[in-house]
Structure formats: C-alpha cells, structure tokens
Amino acid sequence: MDKANSSVVPEFVLLGLCSSQKLQLFYFFFFSMLYMVIVLGNLLIILTVTFDTSLHSPMYFLLGNLSFIDICQASFATPKMIADFLSEHKTISFSGCIAQIFFIHLFTGGEMVLLVSMAYDRYVAICKPLYYVIIMSRRTCTALVTISWAVGLVHTLSQLSFTANLPFCGPNVVDSFFCDLPRVTKLACLDSNIIEILIVVNSGVLSLSTFSLLVSSYIIILVTVLLKSSAATAKAFSTLASHIAVVILFFGPCIFIYVWPFTIYPVDKLLGIFYTVFTPILNPIIYTLRNRDMKAAIRKIVNYYLRPRIISEMSLVVRTSLH
C-alpha cells in the first residue's frame, strides 16, 4: 500500500504558517520558546505529582497523565514546524504524513476521554464525597487512563483504515504546518465526500459525545455545589473553573475543524496551532496558578532540589573570590 502511494506522491509539501522570511524567523524563536515551556511546565507537573506524597490522590494522578498527553500532543508536529521555519522546502514523506495523522488522533482522542475521567472524579468528590475513596480507587484510576488510551487508539486506527489507502496521484500541497486530515483528504484523486462524512461520523461523534458528557457532568456538579455551604462552594468553583476553561479551550477548535471538514477555512491554521501548541501550554498554567496545593508542592520541590545547589554554588564562588 505504501509503495503504491509513494510511487506517485512520495511526499507532501507543507505551506506552513506564512511565507514571509522575517515572520518565519520570529516564529522560529517564538514557538521554540513555547515548546520549551510546554515540555518543562508539564514535566514539572508530572514530577511534582509523582514525588510529592500529598498529591497522591486520584485528581492529581489524572492531572499527571493529562500533562503527559499534552507533551505528546505538542511533540507530534511542533518540532518539525519549528525546523521548517528555517527551511525553504517544507516537505514531509508520505509515511511521515500518515504518522502525524495517527498521533494527532491518538492523543486528541485520548485527551477527550481523559477530560471526561477528570470530570467524573470531580463529580464523585463533590456529589458523593463519602464514597470517594471507594469509587476512585487506584484500580479505577488506572482503568480510566487505560480506557482513554484505548479509545484514542481505536479512534485513530479507524481514521487510518480509510485514509491510508486513499489514492494520491498528483496534488501534494497541504496548506498547513502539519498533515491535517481534512486538508490531506482533499488531495485524494477521488470524490472525497464519502470520506468527509466518515470523518464527521468518527471525529464528530467522539468530540460531541465527550463534550456533551462533560457539560452534563459540570451542570450536575454546579447544581450540587450551589446547594452546599459558601466555603465549599468557593473551593469547588475554583477547581471547576480550571476544568471548564481547559475543556472549552481544547474542544472548541477540535469541534470546529472536525465536525465541519467539508469546508476549509483560513482560521483552521490558527485553530490547529491552538490545540497543538497553546492548549498544552495553558493546561499547566491553569492548573498550577489556580491550585493552591499544586503551587505549594511545586514551591517545596523547587526549594528542596534547587536552593541547596544555588547556595552551594554561591558559597563556592565566595570561597574562590576570597582565595
């Protein structure tokens, strides 16, 4: 199958974000910095959740897994996009293009289900607090994470089952910075209406169903919170606000792009940047800046690991200057 396709279209040309050399140089430094922040910020969350025993709870276990998926989601296309800013010929092989399609749907599908799991965790914590420890056991949390990866895998394999075999016999220019499925489908040498309907059925149903579950669960949680005391209300609202912000920022671009793939809009590039770069960088910011326990744990780890090293280095400099 790969040989048949590659003999006609061995590679695709990515137009990227812009054609201006000055803007591309600016984008190179800008997105390089963002990518470093994404990786370091989410790694910090993973390390904090792993090593701070006070955060060994279901909510932070799921948050650590969300950070891992965010690193993966930012890494499937962003490094190549950054490298392409310094290249005149932005190309990607046929197999590389298929790999990008595979990973984006694996990670986005998995994150959708993981966000539902996080909403379920908050539902149990607020609506059934007496049964929280029993319901959200370690086995349950592991099962929820496993299910999220399994759904992502089934989702992306079903996409590839009818995408990888498409005949590409001529046009190979993708007006994006990565192989976005709706844009690649448009290049196939056949009527793509049926394929687009399959994309809607696959991605659209997954996006809308998980989004509907999230909205329903948060409505139930908010109604329950409003019936409780003011102190509990304030704390719950603070946590829920973080979750709702992540849901809106993540699902908005995905639903817009994949529920209506029949028409390609110029804003699709911006939305693609949003859920591949900006959402992974916003998650650690939202969850850390609005979470008192997380900020305290990060401060503790930074003080434990970095401050002694800084003090020892300063003392070494002082001793050297005295000698």
d(CA 112, CA 211): 8
Torsional class of 161: left (φ above 0), alpha (ψ -120 to 50), beta (otherwise): alpha
Q: What per-residue confidence (pLDDT) applies to 233?
A: 61
d(CA 185, CA 270): 19
Maximum mean pLDDT: which of 9-13, 65-69, 235-239, 307-311: 65-69
Q: What per-residue confidence (pLDDT) applies to 151?
A: 95
H helices of 13-93, in order, are 21-51, 58-75, 78-84
Per-residue pLDDT tens over the stretch 256-305: 766 665 556 666 677 778 878 888 888 777 777 667 778 788 787 777 76
The mean pLDDT of 223-233, rounded to a whole number, is: 69
**Please, how many CA atoms are within 13 Å of residue 28, restricted to the half-sphere of its CB?**
12
Question: 77-104 in b/e burial notation, b at 16+ Cβ within 10 A?
Answer: bbebbbebbeeeebebebeebbebbbbb
| Location of structure tokens 């099962």 | 143
Domain boundaries of the chain, sorted by first residue: 11-272
| 2 vs 203, residue with greater confidence | 203
- Say how many C-beta atoms besides its own lie within 10 A of residue 24's C-beta: 18
Alpha carbon distances (Å) from 258 to 98, 136, 150, 168, 237: 17, 33, 20, 21, 31
Instruction: For residue 292, report the phi and psi dihedrals to the nearest 5 degrees.
Output: -65, -40
DSSP 85-128: TT-SS-EEEHHHHHHHHHHHHHHHHHHHHHHHHHHHHHHHHHH-
CATH dotted code for 11-272: 1.20.1070.10
Nearest Cα residue to 199 out of 172, 163, 229: 163
169: exposed, middle or buried (Cβ count in 10 Å: 0-12, 13-18, 19+): middle
Nearest Cα residue to 276 out of 159, 148, 153, 178: 178
136: exposed, middle or buried (Cβ count in 10 Å: 0-12, 13-18, 19+): buried
| Location of structure tokens 């948050």 | 63
Per-residue pLDDT tens over the stretch 23-48: 888 999 999 999 999 999 899 889 88
Report CA dihedral (228, 231, 236, 242) to the nearest 10 degrees. 150
Contacting residues for 130 by C-beta, under 8 A, at least 6 apart = none
Per-residue pLDDT tens over the stretch 78-90: 999 999 998 888 8
Q: Tell me the pLDDT of the chain averaged across its residues.
A: 81
